[in-house]
Structure 1
Amino acid sequence: MNTSSLRRATTVLSCGAALAFALAACSFGPNGTPPVMPQPAHYGAEPQPTQTVQANGVAQQFVAGAQAVPEWWKLYRSDDLNALVDEGLRNSPTLAAADKNLAAAHEQLRAQIGSSLLPTIDANGQATRERALGFPSLGPNTSLYNVFVGQIQANYTLDLFGAARLADKALAARVDTQAYQFDAARRALAANIVSAAINAAALHEQVDTTERLVVLANQQADDTKRRYELGAASHSDLLSAQQSAAALSASLPGLRQQWLTTRHALAVLLGRTPDAAPADLDLASLHVPENVPVSVPSDLLRARPDIRAADATLKAAAAEVGVATAQMFPSLSLTASMGKGGFSWPLATSGAGALWSIGASLTQPIFHGGALFAQRRAAVDTYEASVAQYRQTVLAAFQNVADTLASLEHDAQALDAASTAARFAQQIFTETSARYRLGAVAVTNTRSSEQQYRNARLDEIRYTGARLTDTATLFQAMGDPLPATASTSAATTTATASPASTSAAHD
């Protein structure tokens, strides 16, 4: 390469670098900062209490401002429940698929950064034998010859207006979104396993209690039938007893179906087939957590993976506005190659066969049928939609917490009343049974008091399960205090180094 060629190439590179630095302060899109959200004084329409009423000897404390608990299911103090959650987190195919998809997204981000910010260098070798037409007046009609060429080619597109860096930033934010969604899926899986295990345990007890009620109702119908045959009961009494027994029997298959469906769902959550569903937990072995954290709204925005995912999506949309804007401006590409070539192998490898080239290409879009402007408007609309979606995600999170806090308070109230009713009904049944053994009352009185107790017990079982399940829902709603998955941080730092994305100006 001679001196004048080197001087021209140096001039082109210097001009390109100077133009890039001159545009360092430019901004082609919003900075992706999420909108300021209101910070409510309390989550619900009414101020949340500091604790629930006492039910079954436990009054749950709402610890305002406390951090969320990462492995909250261990607060139920059940080794069997802990084992189920651990198994599900290890073996869930859905979680494994999400993990691999996230790993693939990381690699795609690395590939895009490498291809967009670094030059490409390729080696090219060529050996051909060609036949060309000649000129009859000057020589043979045709000529045969060989061509040997070996080259190293380099290509680099200067990112003058930050289009490539903004595209990398957008993809990095999309990967962050996927990482937060994976965190949310992992926490949701744990919550679903806990809820399914609690529901299966509660339904098992409800099935057992209902089966006993069916037996008592059938016995009552049989007794009424004998009394009717003896003339001690009316026909309407008989029909009423038979109708009650039949109605109660009709409710049992649906309850069993619900129980089995829950067990099957739990097995699949654990990565098992439905026929390998785990044994039901003992509902009485599950301890309701006494201290429940209630994060302040500002902490909730940082703790919930769904809000962090919406934030990352918003940042990606902001960067894509910058990409669409930068595509309207010139792009400069540099190419260079060097190698050897000739019509024979000795000539190609000699000093006479040296080949080289260097060039620059500047492209300025002029007319694309309005496509570039339409693409930018679409990017702006997508960004504005992301802002609205972020707002909606935050509001839905506040509602989720508010609803669950109210549910826990009402669960405790209902459970307290149901437990009191069941306790009184059990006392009545115990006293009636004692009087029956002494011959003071008929067996029908004992049976009726047991039915009353079993019905009260059904309500107690339902509200016990609801309280345990709603507690799990609140722990899930509080999010995770640990930092978000950091696997994309390095790529994000690289992708956000574009000077064109540092300004807070909006289009």
Structure 2
Amino acid sequence: MTYRRWLKSGALIPLAHALALGGCAVGPNFVAADAPGVSGYTAGRLSGAAGADGPGGTAQRFVAGADVPGIWWKVFRSRRIEAFVREAIDNHPDITAAQAALREAREVAAADMSALMPSASGSDSVTRSQTPLAESGQTGPSSLFTLYKTSVPISFTPDIFGGKARGIEADLAYADYQRFQLEATYLTLTANVVTTAISDASYADQIRATEEQIEGQRQLVALLEQQFALGAVSNADVLTQKAQLAQTVATLPPLQKSRAQNRNQLMAYLGRLPSQDRAEAVPLSNLRLPRDLPVSVPSLLVRQRPDIQAAESQVHQASANVGVAVANMLPNVTLSASGGSSALALSGLYGPKSVAWSVAASLTGPIFDAGNLYHTKESKIAALEQSGAKYRSTVITAFQNVADALRAIQSDADLLKAQVEAEKTAAESLKMSQAQFKAGSTTFISVINAEQTLLTARINRVKAQASRYADTVALYQALGGGWWNRIDESPAAEVKPAGVAAIFVPAGALPPPPAPSAN
């Protein structure tokens, strides 16, 4: 939600007054840190990833400066993945919680802006009293009367040193923090859904390869038992193959357990309970890798990563809090006025003789507080230093994430190419061992070893295929997920209209909406 859409609510319109006073506010003025002065993410230049045969083998190239699409998960061209992501966004409680946290922060900012305006209240009362004259030192009958009163007190504390403006600035910075926390929640959830769906597809293929190997080994055991009955092979060969079959069968339950737990995690991301699993799955062979991968220029990454933006908002909030602490050490002026009327008859309540008014001004300021305000200010300065250090740490981690993803895409592409070749070689080796065993030129142990090598090669090839898809997800996540190209907020994050008279905002008073991408 941009600042322009935010303004439509009407409740945050007094922001203009805070900004107008910001020029004379005490404390440091926040300035966003410059992006790291580097031209790349890795020590060497990376051009892309090599291709290989089969699913997940598409050759990829890195396109420097390309924008990240908002609906980035569509690059896999899987309707099932798109449906998973949509369901997760609609149902996961973390998104709902983030939306509510954002609205809470904005409502707090809207509430605190009232401090920049005068406050007025109104009261009307009627009192029936009987007062003995003896209370005033007189004799005679008691005085019985009815008093009608109306009063409108007004008070205003000018923000001379900008302490209120700094407080509102801190509120708005915290609202920005919650906004980017929403984006981070959205990005993490969508990336986790896609990655978990890919892992499920990988486990399914590994289980399928293992089951095929088990079926083949069972057939071989049956064949060897027939040959043993005819005296063609020894009982040792039969027992060896049975042992190999048992070992292969033992690898299946861990895979099934891992897939079941991975499915439970997927259901959690979708906002379902484990028992609500409807067995929807994404076949690994149906996924497609994008040929072109965007790589944002480093100077834009600090504006695109929601975690960096959230950390920057915390620095901004800490900076404003220093100004609040400094302003609290200075005097305050309060202006007050009251107007109303009093009369013994309701008909005379608004007459000229019943008018009552007062005007007052007061100056208050700290004289002695045993160092409380000073040390409070120093604590805010320390908090500013801490948030600045955390911001720099977040930037370093973000650049590391992108570099890791780029290296993984390149290295795992080479790995898949090697694993595809290893599987082909293992399959040919098994055929040759089987033929040699039938011809009596080799022992059955060589056949057993070839079978195990082929199973391992198939499992490793499937894992390498899944890694290439997961690497692509990691890159899109590391680059920020393209949140600036879509609207992630719902009405649940918007400030509720206050229903009060509108206050006009001067042109240019509001900050412009963020522009993380030059595209």
TM-score normalised by structure 2 residue count:
0.80
Residue 54 in structure 1 maps to residue 37 in structure 2: no
Aligned pair 1:28/2:29, yes or no?
no
Output the amino acid matched with 1:129. Answer: R
Number of paired residues?
471
Alpha-carbon separation, structure 2, partners of 1:436 and 1:182: 63
C-alpha displacement of 1:315 = 1.0
Aligned 8 A contact 1:220 1:447 in 2: no
Deviations 1:99-131 (A, max 9, x none): 122123222211211x11111121111223345
- The whole-number CA distance in structure 1 between the counterparts of 2:261 and 2:84 is 17
CA apart distance, 1:26: 4.8
SS in 1 for 2:121: strand
* Residue 163 in structure 1 maps to residue 160 in structure 2: no
Change (3 A) 1:116 1:459: same
Partner of 1:473: 474
Matched, 1:320 2:317: no
8 Å CA contact 1:305–1:480 kept in 2: the answer is: no
Question: Take 1:25 and 1:111, find their aligned partners in 2: how far apart are those partners?
Answer: 22
1:154 corresponding residue in structure 2: 154
Q: Write the deviation string for residues 448-504 of structure 1: whole angstroms up to 9, x where unpaired.
A: 756543332111111111110111010111115564989999x9x99x979xxxxxx
User: Root-mean-square deviation (CA), in Å?
Assistant: 3.7
Would the alpha carbon gap of residues 274 and 141 (structure 1) be closer, same or farther in structure 2, given more than 3 Å must change?
farther
1:84 aligns with 2:81: no
Give the Cα separation in 2 of the matches to 1:433 and 1:201.
31
The reply to whether residue 301 of structure 1 matches residue 302 of structure 2 is yes
Q: Does the CA-based 8 Å contact 1:109-1:172 persist in structure 2?
A: yes
Distance 1:132 1:218 in 2: 110
How far apart, CA to CA, are the structure 1 residues paired with 2:342 and 2:214? 96
The structural deviation recorded for 1:93 is 2.2
Match in the other structure for 1:190: 190
Within 2, Cα distance between the matches of 1:372 and 1:274? 54
Helix, strand or coil for the counterpart of 2:187?
helix
Residues of 2 paired with 1:244 and 1:30: CA distance?
72
More displaced stretch, 121-130 vs 358-367: 121-130
- 5 Å-filtered alignment, 1:12-411, equals 26=24, 28-36=26-34, 38-44=36-42, 46-56=43-53, 57-113=57-113, 115-130=114-129, 132=131, 134-135=133-134, 138-139=138-139, 144-217=144-217, 233=234, 241=241, 243-277=243-277, 278-411=279-412
Contact kept in structure 1, 2:72 and 2:482, CA below 8 Å:
no
SS at match of 1:90: helix
Deviates more, 1:405-414 or 1:164-173: 405-414
Q: How many Å apart are 1:174 and its aligned residue?
A: 0.6
Instruction: Classify 1:408/1:25 alpha carbon distance in 2 versus 1 (closer, same or farther; 3 Å).
Output: closer
1:217-249 per-position Cα deviation (integer Å, ceiling 9, x unaligned): 5566677788889795476x7776555444433
Question: Structure 2 CA distance, aligned partners of 1:25 and 1:149?
Answer: 43
Q: Which residue of 2 aligns with 1:12?
A: none
Per-residue deviation, 1:159? 0.4
Query: Matched residues in 2 for 1:267 and 1:247: separation?
Result: 32
CA distance in 1, matches of 2:197, 2:45: 28
Q: Relative to 1, partners in 2 of residues 1:343 and 1:436: Cα closer, same or farther, differing over 3 Å?
A: farther
**In structure 2, what is the Cα distance between the partners aligned to 1:383 and 1:497?**
26
CA distance, structure 2, for counterparts of residue 243 and residue 125 of structure 1: 96
Partner of 2:6: none
Give 3-state SS (helix, strand or coil) of 1:158's partner.
coil
- Residue range with higher mean Cα deviation, 169-178 or 123-132: 123-132
Q: Quote how far apart the aligned CAs of 1:52 are.
A: 1.5
Give me the whole-angstrom Cα distance separating, in 1, the residues matched to 2:329 and 2:173. Answer: 23
The whole-number CA distance in structure 2 between the counterparts of 1:233 and 1:433 is 16
Q: Alpha-carbon deviations, 1:308-338, whole Å to 9, x = none?
A: 1111111111111011101111111111121
Structure 2: which amino acid aligns with 1:183? E
Distance 1:226 1:144, change over 3 A: farther
Following superposition, the deviation at residue 58 of structure 1 comes to 2.0
In the superposition, relative to structure 1, how do residues 39 and 220 fare at CA in structure 2: closer, same or farther (>3 Å)? farther
Q: Secondary structure at the match of 1:160?
A: coil
In 2, the alpha carbon distance for the partners of 1:49 and 1:268 equals 37
> Alignment partner of 1:68: what SS?
coil
In the alignment, the residues of structure 1 paired with residue 424 and residue 305 of structure 2 have an alpha-carbon distance, to the nearest angstrom, of 41
Residues 127, 247 of structure 1: CA spacing in aligned structure 2 closer, same or farther, 3 A cutoff?
A: farther
Is contact 1:165–1:497 with CA below 8 Å preserved after alignment?
no
More deviation, 456-465/275-284? 275-284
Q: Structure 1 residues 482 and 71, CA, compared in 2 at 3 Å: closer, same or farther?
A: same
* The 10-residue stretch of structure 1 (149-158 or 341-350) with the greater mean CA deviation from structure 2: 341-350
Does the 8 A contact of 1:321 with 1:380 survive in 2?
yes
1:445 Cα deviation from its structure 2 partner? 8.4
Q: Deviations over 1:282-321 (max 9, x none)?
A: 1101011111111221111111111111111111111110
The alpha carbon displacement at 1:72 in A equals 1.4
Go from structure 1 to structure 2 and tell me whether the alpha carbon gap of 1:285 and 1:207 turns closer, same or farther (over 3 Å shift): same
| Alpha carbons of structure 1 residues 350 and 357: separation in structure 2 relative to 1, 3 Å | same
- C-alpha distance 148-243 of structure 1, shift in aligned 2 (>3 A): farther
Indicate how the Cα distance of structure 1 residues 340 and 324 shifts in structure 2: closer, same or farther if over 3 A, else same: same
Aligned equivalents of 1:169, 1:302: Cα separation in 2: 20
Does residue 458 (structure 1) correspond to residue 459 (structure 2)? The answer is yes
Residue 24 (structure 1) shift? 8.1
Provide closer, same or farther for how the CA distance between residues 214 and 414 of structure 1 changes in structure 2, counting only shifts above 3 A. Answer: same
- Structure 1, unmatched stretches of 5+, are 1-22, 499-507
The range that moved more, 48-57 or 67-76, is 48-57
Look up the SS of the partner of 2:349 in the other structure: helix
Q: TM-score, normalised by structure 1?
A: 0.82
State how far apart, in whole Å, the 2-side matches of 1:186 and 1:90 are.
11
Task: Specify the SS of the correspondent of 2:251.
Answer: helix
Match of 2:367, SS state, is coil
> Which sits farther off after the overlay, 294-303 or 224-233?
224-233
1:176 touches 1:488 (CA, 8 Å); kept in 2?
Answer: no
Counterpart residue number, 2:8:
none
**C-alpha separation between the residues in 1 aligned to 2:208 and 2:186?**
33
Residue 15 of structure 1 aligns with which residue? none
Q: Residues 30 and 318 of structure 1 are in contact (CA less than 8 Å); yes or no, is this contact kept in structure 2?
A: yes
Unaligned runs of 5+ in 2: 1-20, 496-502, 511-519
Write the letter of the residue equivalent to 2:172.
A
